[in-house]
A and B are shown apart, each in its own frame.
Chain A
């Protein structure tokens, strides 16, 4: 049974993605019988390349994705280098973890309410400057897409930081730091020269996932990115929802183009890795100690703090908006407060939370089971077997959602599975399983094999060893992975709507529908509601091990990973 876990997992990931891609590629070349497209043609591509501003859209997606990723990675690495092992580092850990439970769109709305010309920061300035009108300047939707980059960076830093955290224990960082310090290296330089080369390979996949996401993001881009023209993914969505059904062909070729852009961005990124690796090699060996690094350390702490602070303050503005009466510019606070909208949404909230869990819990359970199956199989068969093959599990994170979601909808309809809970759960699983794998595989592989070996020597069966030794030791890692998975399923909009045919009203589908009405109070309410379930998930992942192992100090330590 266990033997089949890897192949089953891969099929469940690859199947839907490739089916979806086929459903996109065929119309891209003119094949879509329902609209009379029966002969292959290049017309959709010609139509696409005739679109005004296509080059600018491509540039926005490509360049901004790369820049946002580079900045996020740089800040996280710099912060880890400067502060690892200090009290500030542990404090940051506590601040950043909850931010993971903030959905991208919520964070983006919060940021927009903060930095827009009519946002909180400008209102504060206006108090002193005496403005009664917001300045007519483009801070969000700015032509360079800087607001988009800021929004992505603020949200990706916590993710990359936590991924780095789980990679650190295997890099033997504490002793490395002692050695570099003894040799007279500054803390930051020592980390970059000795630890980074061992940590980066482990977080490379999450980094590439961030790159793919940033290059093809839709929701954050709608809120923050320029619109004349918009990044490619946003325009694809527009073409897909154009009343002129003939545009579906061109939209499909654009979706294929989007995939190519993501691939190109990855190629550039990997080339950059090589170059920096080669240069860094010399730099690491040149013997410079960089002993005075307090400026760098201060800057890195400030950057991380600003990123985290922006998200947290954004959430505070959302909260204020959700209870606001009329709130004129440049008032710092609304003229009145009201819980009316919260009260009115209460009923709907209950049922949408239930639906969210109805999809989320099975998806997370299946994902965790599959991933544990794959990893346990790895242990029992000796690692080499499928590590490479398991990389395929990440495919759904690297292929832009918009490039295969519409094809996937047709695929499930063909199978007759559309609108069933089963298909929605399967659709979510495609996105949940990679993240669960991402957050569970490192702790699992890092677990000291001698625990298992001892149990086996004492005569326990492999199954018993798994259930009574490995799994309890990994309690916290498993729960954290499940919480990450839950956060992912809660945030799914397109898969829920498209595969579920609107039969499943989750917190997120409700939030997105109501956000289209533009009332910032509703955006505030549902933005915060979207956080509730992931937040509870992360809290449980922290609390349960503490309660379960309250009498076992050693387990606590092990579970800290």
Chain B
């Protein structure tokens, strides 16, 4: 038994080792599309099936994705199947395990809805196909000048490895039937909590929304926010983070459950607000709050607002793994997702309610009007109500803050 086991171990090690350095290409390899020649991309895409790995927690978003799939099937003969994930990292893991097994072609993931740390990790580990995004026809409409985050994902240059799909900005929300005044800065939030202990919390880092809250506070408190745009290890990180830890020192004991328990994600924080366990919550899209009201998840007296000095904003993207089986199909789909028509529907809260990445002044007149005429929903913030959009810090800050938070507050027992 033991010798057989050893044989198996060495076989496996050999297989992974050889596979990782293997240069041979299987017969079913999907040749990289020539994105500069759009017609050839369309030709290559026809008949392909794109397995799009995307978070599947919101029925409305799933419906939107299904609609986009129908459109590209009718127009370009590309089939789209959404693989519903609970966590984007699952798709990253899959690409990684394929690389481990030497599957450098014909991978299972054709497209991923992605941004931030996940993108940075895939880019760093050469797990992405491209550059392709900036050569697609509809990229011309993208608001590169007005929304710099469409080509800088959490400060990391996208380098055409992912195509912008939607904008997001932190907004807070509360029930107007229960609160008259709301805190509009980090400092006000702390003062408000002293008067209303236990009525606020944030999702437990390293959950994305929880980390976002910490970064929001950090960005507000730090003396020179531009430091956060550089990788953390090139700065005096301890000094930069000191105000955040000082703030949390005061905040933590005032949190819901005295900071001993946390909601696990943005959705469970929303549930806490609905159950009157907390008074203020936040999300990455005020349109999402309108949707939640319509889905009976929140009372219809809930409204959104932003902090006076601005809130963090970023862009989410779609990327194609280096070993995708249907690269051309994925490029065609991504291009369609950036089209004015798809972006208009995406911003309509009836379907989704997420902000467009396009520049209004680059669009044809009729599309501009269509965007202007959208009814954004009762708890959504119009662009004019959103105040300043603060840039996301470099991803290295997020890791640093998460690790340190875990040490200080992640273990209370």
A residues contacting B by CB (< 8 A) are 18-19, 22-23, 26, 31-35, 38, 51-53, 56, 117-118, 132-134, 136-138, 141-143, 222, 226-229, 238, 240-245, 248, 324-329, 334, 336, 338, 341, 344-345, 406, 409-411, 413-414, 418-419, 497-498, 501-503, 505, 509-510, 512-522
Indicate whether B29 reaches chain A with its CB closer than 8 angstroms.
no
Asked whether A34 and B100 contact (CB < 8 A) given A227-B261, A243-B120, A414-B15, the answer is yes
**B59 CB–A CB distance under 8 Å:** yes
B206 to chain A, nearest CB (A): 7
- Whether B101 pairs with A117 at a CB distance below 8 angstroms is no
| Interface status of B25 (Cβ within 8 A of chain A) | no
Determine whether B271 belongs to the interface, using a CB cutoff of 8 Å to chain A. Answer: yes
For residue A117, which residues in chain B have a CB less than 8 angstroms away from its CB?
277
B96 touches A34 (CB 8 A): yes
Contact in complex: A33, B20 (CB < 8 Å) = yes
Q: Is the CB of A514 within 8 A of B93?
A: no
Partner of A227, one of B58, B99, B103, B204: B204
Residues of A within 8 A of B9 (CB): 22
Instruction: Provide the bound-state CA to CA distance between A411 and B266, in Å.
Output: 35
Contacts of A142 in B (CB 8 A): 261
CA distance A22 to B16 in the complex (A): 12
Contact segment of B71-79, B232-240, B380-388, B403-411: B403-411
Q: Give chain A nearest CB distance to B184 CB in angstroms.
A: 24
7 contacts between A and B (CB under 8 A): A22-B12, A138-B261, A228-B260, A243-B121, A326-B297, A328-B275, A497-B90
Does chain A have a CB within 8 A of B187? no
B51 part of interface (Cβ distance < 8 Å) = yes
CB contacts (< 8 Å) of B116 on chain A: these are: 243
Give every chain B residue within 8 A of A497 (Cβ-Cβ).
90
Asked if B56 is at the interface (CB within 8 A of a chain A CB), the reply is yes
Nearest B-chain residue to A136, judged by Cβ: B198
Cross-chain contact of B267 among A31, A419, A519 (Cβ < 8 A):
A519
B24 at the interface (CB under 8 A from A): no
- For residues 100 through 139 of chain B, which have their beta carbon under 8 Å from a beta carbon of chain A? 100-103, 108-109, 116-118, 120-121, 125
Other-chain residue from A19, A31, A409, A419 in contact with B13 (beta carbon distance below 8 A): A31
Residues of B with C-beta under 8 A to A512: 86
Beta-carbon nearest neighbor of B103 in chain A: A413
- Asked whether, in the complex, the Cβ of A222 is within 8 Å of the Cβ of B99, the reply is no
Is there an interface contact between A34 and B20, defined as CB atoms closer than 8 Å?
A: yes
| A497 to chain B: closest residue by CB | B90
* B residues less than 8 Å from A245 (CB atoms): 92, 96, 121, 125
Q: Residue A244 contacts which of B100, B121, B267 (CB distance < 8 angstroms)? A: B121
With contact pairs A227-B264, A243-B121, A517-B267 given, residues A143 and B412 touching in the complex (Cβ less than 8 Å): yes
- B53 with A238: CB separation less than 8 A: no
Expressed in whole angstroms, the minimum distance between the Cβ of B101 and any Cβ of chain A is: 4
Q: Answer yes or no: B362 CB below 8 A from chain A CBs.
A: no
Q: Please, how many angstroms separate the alpha-carbon atoms of A226 and B410 in the complex?
A: 11
- Do B413 and A32 touch across chains, with their CB atoms under 8 A apart? no
Which residues of chain A have C-beta atoms less than 8 A from B27's C-beta?
none
With A52-B406, A138-B260 in contact, do A229 and B58 touch (Cβ < 8 Å)?
no
Apart from A35-B96, A240-B89, A513-B84: 5 A-B pairs, beta carbons within 8 A: A33-B16, A228-B411, A414-B16, A501-B108, A513-B85
Are A413 and B120 in contact, with the CB atoms below 8 A?
A: no
Please name the 5 residue pairs, one residue from A and one from B, whose CB atoms are nearest each other, closest first. Answer: A518-B267, A517-B57, A502-B83, A53-B411, A243-B117
Q: Distance in Å from the Cβ of B151 to the closest Cβ of chain A?
A: 20
The answer to whether A516 touches B57, judged by C-beta atoms less than 8 angstroms apart, is yes
Knowing A410-B100, A502-B51, A516-B267 are in contact, say whether A243-B118 is a contact too (CB < 8 A): yes
Who on chain A is nearest to B81 by CB? A503
**Alpha-carbon separation in the docked complex, A345 to B411 (Å):** 40
Cβ-defined partner of A329 (8 Å) among B206, B257, B275? B275
B51, B59, B101: the one contacting A410 at CB < 8 Å is B101
Given contacts A118-B277, A243-B89, A419-B108, whether A19 and B97 have CB atoms under 8 Å apart is: no
Q: How many Å from the CB of B62 to the closest CB on chain A? A: 8
Measured CB to CB, the closest approach of chain A to B392, in angstroms, equals: 14
Residue of A nearest to B268 (CB): A518
Question: A53, B413: Cβ atoms under 8 Å?
Answer: yes
Are A326 and B299 in touch, CB under 8 angstroms?
yes
A33 to B85, CA, bound (A): 26
Q: Is the CB of B55 within 8 A of A344?
A: no
Known: A138-B260, A245-B125. A228 touches B92 (CB 8 A): no
Contacts of B85 in A (CB 8 A): 502, 513
A144 CB to nearest chain B CB (Å): 9
- Bound-complex Cα distance A229 to B261 (A): 9
Say yes or no: B57 contacts A513, CB within 8 Å: yes
Per the bound structure, the CA–CA distance linking A414 and B15 in Å amounts to 8
Most chain A beta carbons < 10 A, residue from B12, B81, B298: B12
**Contact between B56 and A516 (Cβ–Cβ < 8 Å)?**
yes
- In the bound complex, what is the Cα–Cα distance between A227 and B206 (angstroms)? 12
For A518, list chain B residues within 8 Å (CB).
57, 265-268, 270-271
Are A134 and B57 closer than 8 Å at their CB atoms?
Answer: no
Partner of A519, one of B103, B277, B295: B295
Distance from A238 Cβ to chain B, minimum over Cβ atoms (Å)? 7
With contacts A22-B12, A502-B83 known, is A513 near B296, CB below 8 A?
Answer: no
B5 at the interface (CB under 8 A from A): yes
| Inter-chain contact B265/A516, CB cutoff 8 Å | yes
A522: chain B residues within 8 A (beta carbon): 59
CA distance A503 to B117 in the complex (A): 26
Q: Cα distance A510–B108 when bound, in Å?
A: 18
Q: How far is the CA of A228 from the CA of B295 in the complex (A)?
A: 31
CA distance A31 to B275 in the complex (A): 48
Checking B15, B59, B90, B407 against A344 with a beta-carbon cut-off of 8 angstroms, the contacting residue is B59
B12 touches A414 (CB 8 A): yes
Indicate whether A409 sits within 8 Å of B97 (C-beta atoms), given known contacts A53-B411, A502-B51: yes
- Min Cβ gap B407→A in Å is 5
Check A516–B55 contact: CB distance below 8 A: yes
**In the bound complex, how far is the Cα of B236 from the Cα of A328, in angstroms?**
48
Instruction: Report chain B residues within 8 Å CB of A51.
Output: 406
For A15, give the chain B residue with the smallest CB separation: B8
B191 at the interface (CB under 8 A from A): no
Is A228 a contact partner of B57 (Cβ separation < 8 A)? no
Quote the shortest CB–CB distance from B16 to chain A (angstroms): 5
In the bound assembly, the distance between CA atoms of A418 and B94 in angstroms comes to 11
| Interface 0/1 of B10-51, CB less than 8 Å to A | 001101110110000000000000000000000000000001
Does residue B309 face the partner (Cβ distance < 8 Å to A)?
no
Question: Nearest Cβ in chain B — how far from A13, in angstroms?
Answer: 15
In the bound complex, what is the Cα–Cα distance between A23 and B12 (angstroms)?
8
The answer on a CB contact under 8 Å between A228 and B86 is no
CA distance A241 to B265 in the complex (A): 15
Chain B residue numbers with a CB within 8 Å of A56 are 411, 413
Partner of A502, one of B8, B108, B267: B108
Set of chain A residues within 8 Å of B120, measured between Cβ atoms: 243
B261: chain A residues within 8 A (beta carbon): 138, 141-142, 226-228
